[in-house]
A and B are shown apart, each in its own frame.
Chain A
Amino acid sequence: MAMIELHNVTKDYGERRGIFNINLSIETGEAFGFVGTNGAGKTTTIRHLMGFLKPNNGTVKVKNLDAWDDAAEIKQWIGYIPGEIAFPDVSTGWDFIHQQAELLHVTDLSYANQLIERLQLDPSANIKRMSKGMKQKTAIVVALMADSPILILDEPTTGLDPLMRTEFIQIIKEEKANGKTIFMSSHMFEEIEETCDKVAMIKEGKIVAITPISIITSNENQRFIIEFCNEQECSRFIQEKFDSISISHTTVSINIENNTLNEFLSILSTYQFDNLTEQKHTLQEQFYNLYAGGQSND
């Protein structure tokens, strides 16, 4: 059963701003990544999932309930991190956590305490004086503490330092292992690659690609960049039977099929070269291709 379903969702703000004909389906237990440039429509889409915005057209369903009409009902299953963190007028982090716990009908704060410890958060601090990272950690604790089956996370790692980002990714992996359905937007391709099963790319309010992460990261081809010692070596290498392109006088980019990897290495060992780097097929690469290419499927 699809946990979250967007069907032909359009919200037109005029001047080509907004989202147009969005179709997405997120299965139970699936981790779904959502990437796009600033202003592409990520947050607008998420606001529809939360029932903050009413679509001009189309339907948004969460567990088969309409996200607008039954906005309060669906929240019992949703943990949410907003894209912009602005806390209510309370004094400390604890005040805020306790207030949200009451509103979420959470009585057992043991999971919240566990998260606080893992994220090294000090909730006794004055909430207005918290750093960006501290605020983000507080938001993460509040979103996860109810152990909700659906997590909607709008750029959840903004402001976190690299150590905390790693910890957060670990937490998300555990949530996923516990069967949570996760919808996460992000600028950080690595964290989407590490946590998500599928990724959708949005450009100018339209979905331009929905791809399983496994296809993006594993590939039958591998690409290497080789830097030779001199031009002679380089031009000699180009004569070899490999599918290679020279990038400069001494550098070559080469595509190798996985089953010819050994052969490639033994031939390469007869050459004088300075540097060999593997270029991963990453989400980032695909992202750049899609955005630079300008192909959209409308």
Chain B
Amino acid sequence: MINGTIFKQTLRANVKLWLIFTIVLTLLQVVMVAVFDASTLADVSHLVEGTPLAGLLGQSTLLSMLASTFYSIHGVIFPIIYIIMTANSLIASQVDRGSMAYLLSTPTKRSTIIVTQAFYLIVALVVMFFIETVAGLITIQVFQSETDIMVADYVMLNVGLFLLMFAISGISFFFSSYCNLTKNSLAFGAGIPIAFFLFQLLSSVDDSLNVLSYFTINALFDTTAILEGENYWWKLIILLGIGIVLYIASLEVFKRKDLPL
């Protein structure tokens, strides 16, 4: 099912990009946790009171601050950019350039190629978020040892963020498998995740735009529900389901389509 040779080559070709994004994501998380100071934040929220930005800041605990910053902006958009670039290069760009002909001129099944490339993308995301989560936990121990933190909630925020990225990577990977041209793969594989991100961002800025949250899967990563102990499991399960369905769909379309190689 997974071809070691292809996996090695994919790893070699993509590890640099992965490393850059993992470092940036981890540093952002570490810095945000490290500089948190409940009293400063209170001042800032006082400052923006009554403006649309107030909604972004919310309450002033470490986790709620992270929920309205890292877990809705930085931690979402950076991995999305990583996913868009990687998913396209894993399949569509190789079909578009024609280099896929070399993999398929060997006794390698199309399904093996898709499963291997999907495996790489998923593992890359798992490891990326694992590093970010562990670095965040260490930073909390070092810089916020006096602050009262629900570690379980913190971990669930990261699990939720990962599941959102898993679903989004399914979208980008599907269009990478479906389209023969990079430009089409990117139009959908990048356009849809970015639209979802913007819808979610806008809906949180102003109540009048709240309706937009019904048109984005990013709303299924419900940080408020996680922090306030509401029932959020079904939303995460939907994200997981979207990802699984899209990865299976990627496999099926790639097996059946004509390849202009």
* Chain A interfacial positions (CB closer than 8 Å to B): 47, 50-54, 71-73, 75-76, 78, 80, 82, 84-90, 99-100, 102-105, 142-143
A85 to chain B: which residues have CB within 8 Å?
A: 98
Q: Are A50 and B9 in contact (CB under 8 A)?
A: no
Q: Does B156 contact A (CB under 8 A)?
A: no
CA distance A230 to B167 in the complex (A): 86
Known: A87-B99, A87-B102. A72 touches B9 (CB 8 A): no
Q: Are A53 and B107 in contact (CB under 8 A)?
A: no
* Chain B interfacial positions (CB closer than 8 Å to A): 3, 5-6, 9, 12-13, 89, 94, 97-99, 101-110, 112, 256, 258-261
Most chain A CB neighbours (cut-off 10 Å) among B5, B103, B256: B5
Closest CB-CB distance, A66 to chain B, in whole Å? 14
Q: Are A88 and B105 in contact (CB under 8 A)?
A: no
Closest CB-CB distance, A143 to chain B, in whole Å? 8
The one of A82, A89, A100 that contacts B106, using a Cβ cutoff of 8 Å = A100
Q: Are B105 and A78 in contact (CB under 8 A)?
A: yes
Q: Are B13 and A52 in contact (CB under 8 A)?
A: no
Q: Are A88 and B98 in contact (CB under 8 A)?
A: no
Q: Give the nearest-CB partner of A91 in chain B.
A: B12
Q: Are B105 and A80 in contact (CB under 8 A)?
A: yes
Known: A52-B259, A99-B9. A86 touches B101 (CB 8 A): yes
Contacts A72-B107, A82-B101, A103-B106 known; 13 new A-B pairs at CB < 8 A: A50-B104, A52-B259, A54-B256, A72-B112, A75-B105, A75-B108, A76-B107, A82-B98, A82-B105, A88-B102, A89-B9, A90-B12, A102-B5
Pairs across A and B, CB under 8 Å, 5 listed: A52-B260, A53-B260, A54-B256, A99-B5, A103-B103
CA distance A86 to B104 in the complex (A): 13
Known: A52-B104, A86-B99, A89-B99. A72 touches B109 (CB 8 A): yes
B110 to chain A: which residues have CB within 8 Å?
A: 71-72
Closest CB-CB distance, A25 to chain B, in whole Å? 23
Q: Are A75 and B106 in contact (CB under 8 A)?
A: yes
A142 to chain B: which residues have CB within 8 Å?
A: 102
Most chain B CB neighbours (cut-off 10 Å) among A47, A78, A82, A105: A82
The 7 nearest A-B residue pairs measured at CB: A86-B98, A103-B106, A80-B105, A89-B13, A102-B5, A75-B107, A52-B259
B99 to chain A: which residues have CB within 8 Å?
A: 86-89
Known: A86-B98, A89-B99. A71 touches B13 (CB 8 A): no
Closest CB-CB distance, B18 to chain A, in whole Å? 14
Closest CB-CB distance, A126 to chain B, in whole Å? 14
Q: Are B9 and A90 in contact (CB under 8 A)?
A: yes
Q: Give the nearest-CB partner of A87 in chain B.
A: B99
Q: Are A52 and B101 in contact (CB under 8 A)?
A: yes
B13 to chain A: which residues have CB within 8 Å?
A: 88-90
A104 to chain B: which residues have CB within 8 Å?
A: 106-107
Closest CB-CB distance, B228 to chain A, in whole Å? 46
Q: Give the nearest-CB partner of B98 in chain A.
A: A86
Q: Give the nearest-CB partner of A90 in chain B.
A: B9
CA distance A52 to B9 in the complex (A): 22
B6 to chain A: which residues have CB within 8 Å?
A: 103
Q: Are A53 and B105 in contact (CB under 8 A)?
A: no
Most chain B CB neighbours (cut-off 10 Å) among A73, A86, A143: A86
A103 to chain B: which residues have CB within 8 Å?
A: 3, 5-6, 103, 106-108
CA distance A290 to B214 in the complex (A): 64
Closest CB-CB distance, A239 to chain B, in whole Å? 61
B256 to chain A: which residues have CB within 8 Å?
A: 54
Q: Are B261 and A82 in contact (CB under 8 A)?
A: yes
Closest CB-CB distance, B208 to chain A, in whole Å? 47
Q: Give the nearest-CB partner of A88 in chain B.
A: B99
Q: Give the nearest-CB partner of B106 in chain A.
A: A103
Q: Are B259 and A88 in contact (CB under 8 A)?
A: no
Closest CB-CB distance, A22 to chain B, in whole Å? 16
Q: Are B5 and A52 in contact (CB under 8 A)?
A: no
CA distance A280 to B135 in the complex (A): 78
CA distance A50 to B100 in the complex (A): 12
The one of A78, A86, A88 that contacts B9, using a Cβ cutoff of 8 Å = A88
B102 to chain A: which residues have CB within 8 Å?
A: 82, 87-88, 100, 142
Closest CB-CB distance, A10 to chain B, in whole Å? 14
A47 to chain B: which residues have CB within 8 Å?
A: 259-261
Closest CB-CB distance, A81 to chain B, in whole Å? 9
CA distance A102 to B112 in the complex (A): 15
CA distance A100 to B112 in the complex (A): 16
Known: A87-B99, A88-B94, A88-B99. A50 touches B105 (CB 8 A): yes
CA distance A51 to B100 in the complex (A): 13
A72 to chain B: which residues have CB within 8 Å?
A: 107-110, 112
Q: Are A53 and B258 in contact (CB under 8 A)?
A: yes
Closest CB-CB distance, B177 to chain A, in whole Å? 15
CA distance A90 to B101 in the complex (A): 15
